[in-house]
Structure 1
Amino acid sequence: MTRTWQTFTPNQSAVLWLMRDRIAIFRDGFRRMHWSHNAGGSVLISGPSLIRQALLERALITRSGDGYALTDAGMRAAAAFLRPPAQVERTHLPLTPFWLTDAQIGAISGWFPKSHGKARLDDRQILSGIVFVFRENLMWGQAPEEYGGELALRRRFTQWCQSGVMDNALGHLFEQDGDGQFRLVVTTAMLMRHRSGAHAIARGYLPTFTPIDEMEAA
């Protein structure tokens, strides 16, 4: 008998597990899959449309209202998993967005450029979104809309990198850990695992976050 985990890709297995007791709402167009709980008890799954299409072609899911539900075959496949597939935890999108505190914003407010009378999105809103993206290793389009949207986050990150604001801001954003010790809100490791962060470091836009191995070799 073929094991269930051998018949599905890791993402397909995760989707089947997540849909065992829930309706799924799919958002397409993302290279990596992530999921979160949605309003009304459904699950919001963001990822390549190929995941959904493969399950549809195998008649494991079917359209149900504004979302998708497991078919009888899908329920049997999902029930065969005795524990959550590892991909379920790896792809979980946090429920609570990250927001910088008044104290954190106050500590770096002097580096924000003046607007010169032209209205722009709130600096705290945008920077909180940028920080959230790097901490959770998300693509820009996967950040919650409350941060201002993908275009705003990407554009502001690029502008602030080129002007030096980004390095000053991230280099002076601290939080306390469980032992009361202060640490950077965004670390070099977080930036290096993200394509945009690694690119910014490589271009010299974030000198505060030079990788440790390069510092030792200098």
Structure 2
Amino acid sequence: MEPTFLQTFFNLDIIKEVGPYILTGLLTTLKLSALVIPLGLASGLLLALLGFVAHNRVLRALLVVYIDFFRAFPPLVLLMFIYTGFPYLGIELTPLQAVALGFMLNNSSYFGEIFRAGLESVPHGQFEAARSTGLSAWQTLVHIAIPQAVRNVAPDLVSNMIEVVKLTTIASVVALPEMLYAARTAQSMLYNPTPIVFAAGVYLALLWPFVILLGRLEKRQRLRMGASF
């Protein structure tokens, strides 16, 4: 007897059996996201600030090369290179360390460009007004420019965070037991795609609220921009 569509892709018995194992992988995915997103945000903001305040042409050129290079370099290839290539240099990294480093290099380039656009969107008069009150250049950035820049690019930041969470699935190539790795392992043991479908549903449930938030932020930004004209 041929298996039905539901038995093949939505087998409840298999979900009950592998559900706890996949949800354990979800916990790893959440921990990984909680690590790599702040790393990407912090390193991206640092890149944006360096590019914004730097007057040295060589430094600015190096920042452009760094950002363009890691935006163009495939993140999966980067992760495999770090995990399998660094040992030839005598640098042994755990799967988590390799993923954290690879994601930081990749994400910092994207977050850096977003923050740069945000800083450039702050009117120059805001800087002059802040300096006239006695604030230093860095105080002006911290208290005046960065908060406005973050607000101006909030939709782009949230969108990129969603992409980072989805990108954590590539951590499975270095045997980091995140949710996709758990689902693939269960699928290979049971010869049934239900674990992959279940994992996809969990990802959808996890990210859907953030997609809704993104839509609201984009709508609010359009209204604010419309009101400014």
Scaled by the length of structure 2, what TM-score is found?
Answer: 0.22
Structure 1 or 2: more strand by fraction: 1
Q: Which has the higher relative contact order, 1 or 2, with Cα contacts under 8 A spaced 6 or more apart?
A: 2
Larger radius of gyration: 2
Structure 1 or 2: more helix by fraction: 2
